[in-house]
C-alpha cells in the first residue's frame, strides 16, 4: 500500500496521527484498513475500548499508540466492487465518539472521492493514448515525407533525360548514356515500390519468410555489386 495524505485542523494532531501510522504500519485484524481493503466493507468503531486495542496491538509500542485514539471509521475507496484504497477518520483525546450518521457521511465522501480518482485515472489514460496516437501520426508523416522524396528523386532524373531526348539534339553517344540513366533510375524506382510493398506486407502480417539454401560467397558478391550500383547512382545524382 502507498502512503496517503494526513489532514487535521490542528498541526499537533497531524503529528499524532502520523506517529500512530508509523508505529502501526500494517495491522491485519478486524476493524482496520487492511480488513476493509480485503472485504470492501466499512468499519465503524464507535468507542475504542481497552479490549479492542489490546486485541489489535501486536507490541507494547503499538498498544501505546492505539490508546491515543478513542474512535475511528474506515471506509473503502472503490469503483463497483474494486477497492483501491481507504479513508480513515479518527478521534483522539476529545471523549467524543462516532455514530451511524458519521459513517454515512464518511461513506458518501468516499464514494465521491473514489469517483474523482477514477475520473482522473481515465483522463490520464486518455491523455497517454492521445499522445501515443499523435506520436504515431508524426512518425507516419515523417515516413511519408521520406518516401515521397525517395520516389521523386529517380522520377526527376527520368523526366529530365526524357525531355533532353525529346529535343532531338542529343548526340548518339549521349543518347545511349541517357537511356542507361533512365533505365537505372526506373529500376531504382521499381525497387523502392517493391520495398514499400514488402513493408506493407510486414505491417499487415501478410509476408511469409521461409528458410532456404544459399551460398555465402554469392551473397557477399551480390551485396558488393549493390553497393557499387548505389555508389554509381549517387555519383551521377551529385
What is the chain's Cα-based Rg?
38
pLDDT value at 64 more than 60: yes
CA-wise closest residue to 109 among 81, 91, 123, 88: 88
Q: What are phi and psi of 150, to 5 degrees?
A: -65, -35
Q: What is the pLDDT, as a whole number, of residue 231?
A: 41
Work out the average pLDDT over 200-216. 70
Work out the average pLDDT over 49-64. 74
Please tell me the distance from the alpha carbon of residue 24 to that of residue 29, in angstroms, as a whole number.
12
Q: What is the pLDDT, as a whole number, of residue 30?
A: 54
Domains of the chain: 11-98 (3.30.450)
How many other C-beta atoms are found inside a 10 Å radius of the C-beta of residue 79? 14
- Per residue in 86-97, pLDDT tens? 888 877 766 677
Mapping DSSP to helix (H, G, I), strand (E, B) and coil, where does residue 25 land?
A: coil
Please tell me the distance from the alpha carbon of residue 115 to that of residue 109, in angstroms, as a whole number.
10
- Which strands sit side by side in the sheet containing 71-79, from one edge to the other? 43-45, 71-79, 82-91
Q: What is the pLDDT, as a whole number, of residue 201?
A: 79
pLDDT value at 228 more than 60: no
pTM of the model: 0.53
Work out the average pLDDT over 12-17. 70
Q: What is the pLDDT, as a whole number, of residue 149?
A: 83
Amino acid at each position: 500500500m502507498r502512503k496517503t495524505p494526513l489532514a487535521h485542523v490542528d498541526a499537533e494532531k497531524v503529528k499524532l496521527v502520523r506517529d500512530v501510522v508509523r508505529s502501526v504500519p500494517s495491522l491485519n485484524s478486524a476493524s482496520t484498513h487492511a480488513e476493509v481493503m480485503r472485504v470492501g466493507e466499512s468499519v465503524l468503531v464507535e468507542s475504542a475500548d481497552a479490549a479492542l486495542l489490546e486485541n489489535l496491538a501486536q507490541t507494547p509500542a503499538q498498544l501505546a499508540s492505539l490508546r491515543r485514539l478513542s474512535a475511528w471509521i474506515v471506509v473503502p475507496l472503490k469503483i463497483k466492487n474494486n477497492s483501491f484504497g481507504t479513508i480513515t477518520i479518527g478521534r483522539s483525546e476529545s471523549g467524543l465518539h462516532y455514530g451511524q450518521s458519521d459513517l454515512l457521511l464518511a461513506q458518501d465522501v468516499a464514494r465521491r472521492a473514489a469517483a474523482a480518482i477514477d475520473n482522473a485515472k481515465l483522463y490520464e489514460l486518455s491523455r497517454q493514448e492521445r499522445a501515443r496516437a499523435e506520436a504515431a501520426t508524426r512518425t507516419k508523416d515523417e515516413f511519408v515525407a521520406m518516401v515521397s522524396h525517395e520516389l521523386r528523386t529517380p522520377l526527376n532524373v527520368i523526366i529530365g533525360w526524357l525531355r533532353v531526348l525529346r529535343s532531338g539534339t542529343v548526340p548518339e553517344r549521349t543518347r545511349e548514356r541517357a537511356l542507361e540513366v533512365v533505365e537505372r533510375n526506373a529500376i531504382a524506382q521499381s525497387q523502392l515500390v517493391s520495398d514499400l510493398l514488402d513493408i506493407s506486407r510486414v505491417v499487415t502480417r501478410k509476408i511469409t519468410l521461409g528458410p532456404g539454401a544459399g551460398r555465402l560467397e554469392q551473397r557477399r558478391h551480390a551485396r558488393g555489386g549493390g553497393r557499387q550500383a548505389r555508389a554509381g547512382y549517387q555519383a551521377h545524382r551529385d
